[in-house]
Amino acid sequence: MKKHDKHFFLRDHWVYDPTKPRAVRENVKLGFDTRALHAGFHPLENKNDFVSFTPPIVQSITFPYNTFDEIPCPVYGRTRTPTNTVLEERLAALEGGEACITSGSGSQSLFSLIFTMVEPGDNVVTSLNIFGEGYKQSTSIFPKKCNVQFRFVKEPADPQSWADEIDERTKLVWIETPSNPCLFITDIKAVADVAHAKGVPVLVDNTTATPALQRPMELGADFVLLSISKFIAGNATVIGGAIIGPEPLVEDIRWNTTEFIGSIIQPIEAWLTLQYIETLSMRMAKHSSNAQAVAEFLSSHPKIERVNYSGLKTHPQHELACRQMSGMHGGLMSFVVANGVKGAATAMNSFKTIVHAVTFGTSRSICMHPPTITHEHLTPEERKIAGIDDGLIRLSVGLEDPKDLIEDLEQALSKI
């Protein structure tokens, strides 16, 4: 067995060692936009028999053996394909991590990471500022099927509150910032400091900001979760997820979890994602300036009770967000309309340009009602703590002309 995939027989579990330096990419010379175009594949440095300007789509899930005892690399498309390898390298380079493993969705990536790291009796510390399926994993499948408990910190703005929930069975601290749907900002560095002091690694879900606006590993995170389905692949054409982190952890997930119960993202979707990534930072800048204009309009509207967008100076964590997110605040926001569910339904039924649909991060603006669609499983008390009021509308601000979005909002809000 000579030419096998170098990790094919790896079965050791990665164990976090707080005394070792964090596994991040050192000496990154190329800028973010250059990495978005070149990491993982350069036309003149490719290893194929031909020269191609774009990464080739190798739409095959199996890779023939040359001889009986030489396992090819890749060997099977559940764990590796040449096109996916380019995407994984590109995402790792953008986040500044050592390695990356993709999967069929962001939810699957979260599940695979936690499933790989925990044993029955362990716990994970997080807050109620997390996406809906994340909450459902935390309160159903993990505690009920795996005896892994999730602890929701009481004061997520206070690092000590995170420290208070950590004990000797805590395997992971999981932060989502800015959070979906209320755009709560968690201080990555402050929470990472308290978690590391207690010997626990930190995951940051970077789906809403993307590495174009926020790089959690530069702020102290050990791993990053991305839903590719959102801004990364930009227009609701691809569903996928990724974990970026230390190489031994990534290979632990690949060979001890994905190999048995999942799959990496498939070649054509990896290729599409690579095309979208080429314009990621330009898109995020336009999403951000559009969202800023929309948030400013909404913040003085009489039918609006609250606007959640960290670009507003009135946002309680505006300064932290400015420090943590390279001065831009992304395309996701939410707001509470007068008249609760009825008011939300009236506004959403009246939109002409903004589309009512699940997901966010699309080039067309999209809205959704979290209390009934994604966060309906939270108890009423948890929804209150998380700020998920009955009249909350999540708005993913797209790339349209901002004046048209504002006009659409204006006419819809006038119907409430």
Ligand X SMILES: Cc1ncc(COP(=O)(O)O)c(C=O)c1O
Return residues touching ligand X (CB under 6 A). 105-107, 131, 133, 176, 180, 205, 207-208, 227, 229, 239, 241
Closest CB to ligand X among 239 and 272?
Answer: 239
Rounded Cα gap, residues 385 and 380, in angstroms: 9
Shortest distance, position 119 Cβ to ligand X, whole Å? 24
Per DSSP, the residues of 28-78 read --S-HHHHHHHTT--GGG--SSS--SS------SB---SSTT---SS-BTT
| 307 DSSP β-pair partners | 335
User: Within a 10 A sphere around the Cβ of 334, how many other Cβ atoms?
Assistant: 25
Helix or strand run (H / E) with residue 103: strand 99-103
Closest CB to ligand X among 269 and 408?
Answer: 269
Q: CA-CA distances (angstroms) from residue 341 to 36, 299, 304, 338, 392? A: 41, 19, 13, 9, 8
Rounded Cα gap, residues 386 and 263, in angstroms: 33
DSSP class of residue 185 equals -
What would you report as the CA-atom Rg of the chain, rounded to the nearest whole angstrom? 21
Whole-angstrom distance between the N-terminal and C-terminal Cα of the chain?
69
Closest CB to ligand X among 271 and 360?
Answer: 360
Rounded Cα gap, residues 312 and 129, in angstroms: 19
Token pair of 141, please? 């499948």
Shortest distance, position 46 Cβ to ligand X, whole Å? 29
Shortest distance, position 102 Cβ to ligand X, whole Å? 11
Shortest distance, position 253 Cβ to ligand X, whole Å? 16
Shortest distance, position 232 Cβ to ligand X, whole Å? 10
* Closest residue to ligand X: CB criterion: 106
Closest CB to ligand X among 205 and 408?
Answer: 205
Quick check: helix, strand or coil at residue 327?
coil
Token pair of 36, please? 């978005």
Closest CB to ligand X among 95 and 408?
Answer: 95
Closest CB to ligand X among 151 and 394?
Answer: 394
Rounded Cα gap, residues 196 and 163, in angstroms: 10
Closest CB to ligand X among 131 and 162?
Answer: 131
Closest CB to ligand X among 71 and 362?
Answer: 362
